[in-house]
């Protein structure tokens, strides 16, 4: 998550107050308009499995092959909406795609093995970057990115497997890609990031670690969040310019899908917590600095997932999904400052993967 345009493009409202009589008033046109975009997937009983986005609660199905999924969204300063994900047919081979304003673009891939596109960013000069991984003939993932649909490998010699998970592009065009690389016979799994294709190690593989999401401030400070294997449970960690901070954990619970954002000199991280004794018991949580909050409490949710977060005008938005019991479908939701909004009615499963907020006049 991401640059100064980021997933969130905020335009400043300049309120112009004109005196027309004794009673000065502000036109309704001066009030800012906030649009909330959420991307994810719906899974209906009739077999429909499609990538979707919701704009202010209204769902739009994205064009694709028989099945599809959407993982991330980016909105440019010119209001172009980019959404990235995968599509697949009955062969179940995932193919990387992105949609620009609803029109699909298919990226080059190994057509016999899965290729995933996890995140998307657009630079100030209009270059489109997509990050993900492709599986080789041995079904081993290798980190890649696409720049304007041209594929570039990030996989290093001597590495068994690798993943590219998140991307940020700075105002001057530097690219930061967060990920992981693995070699069980030597260093295990270690968290890494690539700056302009040059790899930077965040950990040495002891303990095993991975990095998921990246955010770079205007001052150039690099924040990357990930997780470390620990006992009794995996923990959420982030690195600020390479210096690691361990976030407070909940006993022996495991952490998945951490996401990071920095605003007002505070670090915000969201994640999914899993009960080690029952993988079906999950909680959506987030940290503001060192303070931890459980979004599941008081929301009638036996299972809850938190996938991505952003902060806009001091408001914390988190995309995820919930369900009250294993026998019920998931509902796509987002939380604003801990208050949940449902995007679906619970009659079929739906998952919210990412969120963007655009404020304009």
The larger pLDDT score, comparing residue 325 to residue 15, is at 325
pLDDT of residue 37: 98
List the beta bridge partners of residue 304.
322
Statement: residue 172 has pLDDT above 60: yes
Rg for the chain (alpha carbons), in Å?
A: 20
Report the chain's mean pLDDT, rounded to a whole number.
88
User: Is residue 323 packed enough to be buried (19+ CB in 10 Å), middle (13-18) or exposed (0-12)?
Assistant: buried
Statement: residue 25 has pLDDT above 80: no
Residue whose structure tokens are 């007002």: 264
Each residue of 187-209: pLDDT tens digit?
Answer: 779 999 999 999 999 999 888 99
The per-residue DSSP string of 125-183 comes to T--EEEEEEEE-TT--EEEEEEETTEEEE-PPTT-SEEEEEEEEE-TTS-EEEEEEEEE
User: Is residue 159 packed enough to be buried (19+ CB in 10 Å), middle (13-18) or exposed (0-12)?
Assistant: buried
Tokens of 194: 């690539």
Each residue of 290-339: pLDDT tens digit?
Answer: 999 999 876 666 789 999 999 999 999 999 999 988 889 999 999 999 99
This prediction's pTM: 0.90
Residue whose structure tokens are 């016979």: 185
Statement: residue 268 has pLDDT above 90: yes
Query: Are the C-beta atoms of residues 29 and 11 closer than 8 Å to each other?
Result: no
313 conformational bin, left if phi > 0, alpha if psi -120 to 50, beta if neither:
left
Mention every residue, 6+ apart, whose C-beta is less than 8 A from residue 245.
237, 238, 239, 267
Roughly how many angstroms between the first and final C-alpha of the chain, as a whole number? 24
Distances (CA, A) of 318 to 39, 86, 138, 286, 352: 12, 22, 36, 9, 9
CB atoms inside a 10 Å sphere around CB 62: 22
pLDDT of residue 19: 34
What's the CA dihedral at 188, 189, 195, 199 to 10 degrees?
10
Query: Are the C-beta atoms of residues 182 and 161 closer than 8 Å to each other?
Result: yes
Helix (H/G/I), strand (E/B), else coil: 28: helix
Q: Express as a percent the part of the chain with pLDDT over 90.
A: 70
Residue 16: pLDDT band by 50, 70, 90 thresholds?
Answer: very low
Q: Express as a percent the part of the chain with pLDDT over 70.
A: 90
Each residue of 35-93: pLDDT tens digit?
Answer: 999 999 999 988 889 999 999 999 999 999 889 999 999 999 999 999 999 999 888 89
Query: Are the C-beta atoms of residues 132 and 117 closer than 8 Å to each other?
Result: yes
In CATH terms, the superfamily for domain 32-360 is Peptidase/esterase 'gauge' domain (2.130.10.150)
The larger pLDDT score, comparing residue 220 to residue 186, is at 220
Q: Parallel, antiparallel, or unpaired for β 67-75 and 58-61?
A: unpaired
Query: Are the C-beta atoms of residues 134 and 110 closer than 8 Å to each other?
Result: yes
Nearest Cα residue to 321 out of 298, 297, 293, 301: 301
Residue whose structure tokens are 């308009």: 33
Tokens of 358: 């655009």
Query: Are the C-beta atoms of residues 118 and 179 closer than 8 Å to each other?
Result: no
pLDDT of residue 299: 62
Q: Using the 8-state DSSP alphabet, how is residue 27 labeled?
A: -
Statement: residue 10 has pLDDT above 70: no
């Amino acid at each position: 998550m991401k640059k100064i345009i980021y997933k969130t493009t905020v335009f400043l409202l300049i309120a112009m107050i004109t005196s027309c009589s004794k009673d000065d008033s502000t036109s309704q046109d001066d009030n800012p308009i906030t649009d909330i975009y959420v991307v994810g997937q719906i899974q209906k009983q009739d077999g429909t499995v499609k990538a979707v986005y919701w704009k202010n609660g209204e769902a739009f199905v994205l064009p694709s092959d028989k099945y599809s999924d959407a993982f991330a969204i980016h909105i440019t300063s010119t209001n172009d909406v980019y959404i990235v994900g995968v599509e697949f047919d009955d062969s179940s081979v995932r193919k990387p795609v992105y949609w620009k304003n609803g029109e699909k673009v298919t990226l080059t891939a190994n057509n016999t093995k899965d290729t995933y596109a996890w995140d998307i960013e657009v630079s100030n000069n209009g270059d489109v970057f997509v990050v993900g991984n492709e599986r080789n003939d041995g079904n081993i993932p290798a980190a890649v990115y696409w720049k304007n649909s041209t594929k570039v490998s990030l996989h290093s010699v001597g590495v068994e497997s690798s993943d590219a998970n998140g991307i940020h592009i700075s105002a001057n065009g530097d690219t930061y890609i967060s990920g992981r690389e693995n070699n069980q016979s030597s260093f295990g799994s270690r968290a890494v990031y690539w700056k302009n294709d040059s790899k930077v190690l965040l950990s040495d593989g002891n303990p095993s670690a991975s990095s998921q999401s990246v955010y770079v401030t205007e001052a150039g400070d690099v924040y990357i969040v990930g997780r470390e294997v620990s006992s009794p449970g995996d923990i959420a960690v982030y690195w600020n310019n390479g210096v690691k901070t361990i976030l407070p954990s909940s006993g022996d619970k495991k952490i998945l899908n951490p996401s990071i954002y920095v605003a007002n000199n505070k670090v915000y991280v969201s994640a999914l917590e899993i009960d080690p004794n029952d993988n079906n018991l999950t909680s959506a949580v987030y940290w503001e600095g060192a303070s931890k909050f459980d979004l599941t409490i008081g929301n009638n949710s036996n299972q809850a997932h938190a996938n991505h977060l952003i902060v806009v005008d001091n408001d914390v938005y988190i995309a995820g999904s919930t369900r009250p019991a294993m026998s019920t479908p998931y509902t796509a939701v987002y939380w604003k400052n801990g208050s949940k909004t449902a995007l679906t009615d619970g009659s079929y499963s739906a998952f919210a993967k990412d969120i963007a907020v655009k404020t304009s006049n």
